[in-house]
A and B are shown apart, each in its own frame.
Chain A
Amino acid sequence: EVQLVQSGAEVKKPGESLKISCKGFGYSFTDYWIGWVRQMPGKGLEWMGIIYPGDSNTKYSPSFQGQVTISADKSVSTAFLQWSSLMASDSGVYYCARHRGIEYYYYTDVWGKGTTVTVSS
């Protein structure tokens, strides 16, 4: 079964760093783009960016460029989303999702269950 397993919920203070993970199972991890989607409490979906684990090519939404870092370790079929200095406004649920298609035709067919990040002093 194809699935994405995300790391557990995190509670952090403003200014702290964080790296959350998403491990792929049941498919060739290096053959698909994998990305991150944010959902703030009570709000809609926001696409953050994607990475191609095969060559680490990465694309970011302009809204998130410079705010987060997306990476992947193909040896363990895992993608990561990283912050160097969290803010309260980073609180939300972060989903990883396998992307299919090509540029200008991306869509997501497999989603992780989400990682809840809470940033509070």
Chain B
Amino acid sequence: QSVLTQPPSVSGAPGQRVTISCTGTSSNIGAGYAVHWYQQLPGTAPKLLIYGSTNRPSGVPDRFSASKSGTSASLAITGLQAEDEADYYCQSCDSTLGGSVVFGGGTKLTVL
């Protein structure tokens, strides 16, 4: 049972827009702690996609964006491409766990 809750799967056709939600509590996202997002392509290590709730590292396409409000955050991917098919994880920190990093359970994105 992950501290942050994500839908197990989402899907979309090429060119479409999809969103992935990440729901936390008052001890993590709701406490104002930033949310970060990672993409994990099959058989590879995770890659940082969004940090500080809304910031993209250099090299990440602007098709990827994120937002945060209250106890939830979301990742949006526009202009969906086949190579976006991957697992996506949100991450924050949790005060009840002494500030430990916590991950969502992950969402499998399928490009139809």
Contacts and interface: CB of A to CB of B under 8 A. Distances in A.
B101 interface: yes
A97 to B, nearest CB: 8
B106 A44 contact: yes
B46 interface: yes
Interface in B82-112: 87, 89, 91, 93, 95, 97-106
Interface string B53-90: 00001000000000000000000000000000001010
Interface of B: 2, 33-34, 36, 38, 40, 44-48, 51-52, 57, 87, 89, 91, 93, 95, 97-106
Contacts, number: 73
A90 interface: no
6 contacts: A95-B46, A100-B51, A107-B52, A108-B48, A112-B45, A113-B44
Interface of A is mostly: strand
B45 A59 contact: no
A59 B46 CA distance: 21
A47 to B, nearest CB: 4
B45 A105 contact: no
Size class of the A contact interface (CB-based, 8 Å): 20 to 34
Contacts of B99: 59, 103-104
A50 B99 CA distance: 12
A61 B34 CA distance: 18
A44 B89 contact: yes
